[in-house]
Copies of this chain bind each other. A is one copy, B any other.
Amino acid sequence: MSQAFAIAIHGGAGTISPETMTPEKYEAYTEGLKRALDKGYAILEQGGASMDAVQAAVMELEDCPLFNAGKGAVFNHVGKHEMDAAIMNGQDKSAGAVCGISRARNPIQVARAVMEKTEHVLLSGAGADTFVVEQQLPIENDEYFYNQLRYEQWQEALLEGTVQLDHSEKKMGTVGAVALDQAGNLAAATSTGGMTNKKYGRVGDSPLIGAGTWADNRTCAISCTGHGELFMRSVVAYDIACLMEYSGFSLADATDKVVMQKLVTIGGEGGLVAIDNEGNIEMPFNSSGMYRAMRKSDGTIKMAIYK
Which residues of B sit under 8 angstroms from A126, Cβ to Cβ?
Answer: 125-126, 201
Cα–Cα distance between A204 and B124 once the two chains are bound (Å): 11
**A199 CB–B CB distance under 8 Å:** yes
Cα–Cα distance between A128 and B122 once the two chains are bound (Å): 17
**A40 CB–B CB distance under 8 Å:** no
Cα–Cα distance between A122 and B202 once the two chains are bound (Å): 6
Nearest residue in B to A230 (C-beta to C-beta)? B121
Q: Say whether B119 contacts A100, CB under 8 Å.
A: no
Cα–Cα distance between A209 and B234 once the two chains are bound (Å): 9
Cα–Cα distance between A291 and B301 once the two chains are bound (Å): 55
Interface residue range, chain A: 35 or more
**A95 CB–B CB distance under 8 Å:** yes
Nearest residue in B to A208 (C-beta to C-beta)? B208
Q: Say whether B209 contacts A119, CB under 8 Å.
A: no
Nearest residue in B to A134 (C-beta to C-beta)? B200
Q: Indicate whether A199 sits within 8 Å of B242 (C-beta atoms), given known contacts A210-B211, A229-B119, A232-B209.
A: no
Cα–Cα distance between A203 and B96 once the two chains are bound (Å): 11
Q: Say whether B127 contacts A201, CB under 8 Å.
A: yes
Among A120, A131, A228, which residue has the most Cβ atoms of chain B within 10 A? A120
**A118 CB–B CB distance under 8 Å:** yes
Q: Indicate whether A124 sits within 8 Å of B125 (C-beta atoms), given known contacts A209-B232, A211-B209, A243-B246.
A: yes
**A247 CB–B CB distance under 8 Å:** yes
- CB < 8 Å: which of B123, B127, B229, B243 contacts A120? B229
Cα–Cα distance between A239 and B94 once the two chains are bound (Å): 17
A residues 179-221 touching B (CB-CB < 8 Å):
199-204, 208-211
Among A99, A121, A163, A200, which residue has the most Cβ atoms of chain B within 10 A? A200
Which residues of B sit under 8 angstroms from A208, Cβ to Cβ?
Answer: 122, 208-211
Q: Say whether A201 contacts B123, CB under 8 Å.
A: yes
Which residues of B sit under 8 angstroms from A35, Cβ to Cβ?
Answer: none
Cα–Cα distance between A202 and B123 once the two chains are bound (Å): 4
**A261 CB–B CB distance under 8 Å:** no
Q: Say whether B121 contacts A124, CB under 8 Å.
A: no
Min distance, Cβ A132 to any Cβ of chain B, angstroms: 9
Cα–Cα distance between A201 and B125 once the two chains are bound (Å): 6
**A260 CB–B CB distance under 8 Å:** no
Q: Indicate whether A202 sits within 8 Å of B120 (C-beta atoms), given known contacts A100-B125, A100-B127, A246-B242.
A: yes
**A145 CB–B CB distance under 8 Å:** no
Nearest residue in B to A242 (C-beta to C-beta)? B242
Min distance, Cβ A189 to any Cβ of chain B, angstroms: 15
Cα–Cα distance between A211 and B232 once the two chains are bound (Å): 11
